[in-house]
Structure 1
């Protein structure tokens, strides 16, 4: 804008100096004749008219330049506004991207935590399965005989439960009637005694050579009569449990398995 104003002032100055030069030359010619005195005036008028036209043209160009400058200012403002909007959208996009990256990082952290927990759970399951595989399994269930009455005897006898239905771990020996603990642990033992006569019925329970239980019933008629008892014992490897029929006592069993002896390992120690 300053350049345009400077050019305008320069043109006006040149026009003014040209007019003054033409006026001076025509004054000298005017001394020669009266006819020639009118020529400078006509030239001055023409020069003034020309200057007016040039000035009008220059001002028109100045106004056109001004309009262009205004349009450019408006265009620049629009560009600035659009650029500001784009910057705002870019900022919002960057913020959303940051939020997404943070959310993804949180998901990755939770996923890693879940994978770690899954690995720990699998490791624990593997350990339990290994322990369960390595843990001794002991359980037996037996019945006494198909022969009917056992007893009375003159001495105590160890009962040999000859009908073995379950013997996991082979801890029960039907040839001796002994249950022998294979590992240190707590064992559950149970027996049922049947009588089918008039008289005494009962058994001793021995741990090794120590009597730990005695169950006895007096039976007055020849009908089936039962009693059942159980024990939870801590046993060391090699400890044995056996049932003993006291002398003069009678018990009964047949194909219906009235008199039984069973047990299992609850847990090791």
Structure 2
């Protein structure tokens, strides 16, 4: 036992140091290789991630380039449309000016035509008409006002009355006498309005009061300019009657020119 102890005690220090170094290296090297492998795996993952980012960036660049091209095309189209709109506005303004000019020229020609027709000679213009309403019996009541068209024309000297519209149009400036008769047959309420152009100038009505026949007659003396119109209107909720006996009539004549 003593001999072994002595041998151990006499071991060379250099050998002991080498033995310790080998043991230390054996413990250190495995940890380094593990870290290196982990770092290598991390680098691989980072490279893959970088490639993905580069692809996404390339796609974004492509889409951005495409969007910029579309934006340029859209801006060019907008500029073109704005130019076309400006051209249309100019043409529209020119057309409106031309229409106004034509309307003025036409109004002057119409007035001149009337004057030439009625004043080509020294004779007084002849204007007279007499009409009856219808053979259909009772008209109304309706839920809206209607223009009465006196369809039976017995006299229309000067052709100033139009049976298709119910309008009398003054051919010359002058004073006119107009008359109308409104008849009701078993009707509770009879009425008629008189319009000059678009303005109501007279309203007439009467209740039948359960009698079989009811009528009234009115006359007007009006100063009219050439082109003024007169027409009669059946108001909403009221009635009028006419038959082959011509109970409801509308007539007029020119008294003198001005």
What is the TM-score of this pair, normalised by structure 2? 0.53
Cα distance in 2, alignment partners of residues 131 and 266 from structure 1:
19
The 2-side partners of 1:193 and 1:180 are apart by: 21
Deviations 1:25-57 (A, max 9, x none): xxxxxxxxxxxxxxxxxxxxxxxxxxxxxxxxx
Within-5 A mapping of 1:134-149? 134-149=123-138
Distance 1:249 1:155 in 2: 10
Q: Give the match for residue 221 of structure 1.
A: 210
Whole-angstrom CA distance in 1 between matches of 2:218 and 2:176: 14
CA contact (8 A) 2:175 2:257 kept: yes
Unaligned segments of structure 1, at least 5 residues? 1-129
Q: Which runs of 5+ in 2 are unaligned?
A: 1-118
Q: 1: CA distance between counterparts of 2:200 and 2:132?
A: 22
Where in structure 2 are the equivalents of 1:3-14 lying within 5 Å? none
User: Equivalents in 1 of 2:187, 2:131: separation in Å?
Assistant: 25
Q: Which residue of 1 aligns with 2:30?
A: none
Corresponding position: 1:155 with 2:144: yes
Deviation digits for residues 126-180 of structure 1 (CA, Å, limit 9, x no counterpart): xxxx997642110000000000001111100000000000000000000000000
Partner residue of 1:211? 200
Partner Cα separation in structure 1 for residue 199 and residue 249 of structure 2: 21
Which runs of 4 or more aligned residues in structure 1 lie more than 3 Å from their structure 2 counterparts after TM superposition? 130-134
Give, in angstroms, the shift of residue 198 of structure 1: 3.6
| Aligned counterpart, 1:196 | 185
2:226 to 231, 237, 249: 237
2:248 to 236, 253, 259: 259
Alpha-carbon distance in structure 1 between the residues aligned to 2:242 and 2:122: 37
| Higher Rg | 1
SS at match of 2:180: strand
Q: In 2, distance between residues paired with 1:222 and 1:145?
A: 22
Deviation string 1:209-260 (CA, Å, 9 cap, x unpaired) is 1110001101122511110000000000100000000001011000000000
